[in-house]
Structure 1
Amino acid sequence: MDVRTSFAAQTYAQARPATQPAPNATGPAGAGSAFSALADDFARTLKAGEETAKAAMTGGADPHALVEALAASELAVETAVTLRDKVVEAYQEILRMPV
């Protein structure tokens, strides 16, 4: 057996885990669960803002709590819009790449 062949086999064996990550490692599946958690948090923030607004209309919440809930909702929406814009910008950049 050639030394170069043995060295290539060892290098391949060391690099193989990088191409086959563990299921619990952050990767496509890990990123999907992270985005899912972010979407759930976004929905919870909006729902809490709506519930606080309803409570404020019926006299069940003070104006300060309403302002805080609306500010949190506004921040969540602005963050989602910024993220969407970045994703669209990246997609357009990929489309402009020469093939």
Structure 2
Amino acid sequence: MITQINAVNAYAAARPAIAPGAPSDAVQKLGQAAEAFAGQMDRVDQVATGAMTGQVETHRLVQTIAEAELALETVVAIRDKVVEAYQEILRMPV
């Protein structure tokens, strides 16, 4: 039998899961990863501009582009996994 005290305790335990507030740890990590990716792309722009003006060595430009390529491949792989998971959810019977 469900008593009023049990219902109140269950509601209090479930409330943080539905209440708006501080973002979860996973959301914060995803945001940090997005900021890091944007920072990497900004560095590529700065180094490329420096290489065109002769202020940056070609070796540094090639290294920065390779790092950006790796970051982009990682972001695309994550995006593909998210889309795949979303499609799996859509295929679930209701």
CA distance in 1, matches of 2:77, 2:32: 18
The structure showing larger relative contact order (alpha-carbon pairs under 8 Å, at least 6 residues apart) is 2
1:64 to 50, 54, 59: 59
Aligned length: 91
Pairing 1:54–2:80 present: no
| Structure 2: runs of 5 or more not aligned | none
Radius of gyration: which is bigger?
1
- Which residue does the alignment assign to 2:73? 78
Show structure 1 runs of 4+ deviating over 2 A.
Answer: 11-21, 23-27
Residue 60 of structure 1 aligns to a residue whose secondary structure is coil
Pairing 1:90–2:85 present: yes
Residue 37 of structure 1 aligns to a residue whose secondary structure is helix
**TM-score, length-normalised on structure 2?**
0.74
Q: How well do the aligned residues superpose, as a CA RMSD in angstroms? A: 2.5
Deviation, 1:19, is 3.4
Bigger Cα displacement from structure 2, 12-21 vs 34-43 = 12-21
Question: What percentage of residue pairs aligned between the two structures are identical?
Answer: 42
Cα deviation, 1:27-46, whole Å, max 9, x if unaligned, reads 5xx52x22211111100000
The amino acid across from 1:93 in the alignment is E
**TM-score, length-normalised on structure 1?**
0.70
The amino acid across from 1:39 in the alignment is A
| Structure 1: runs of 5 or more not aligned | none
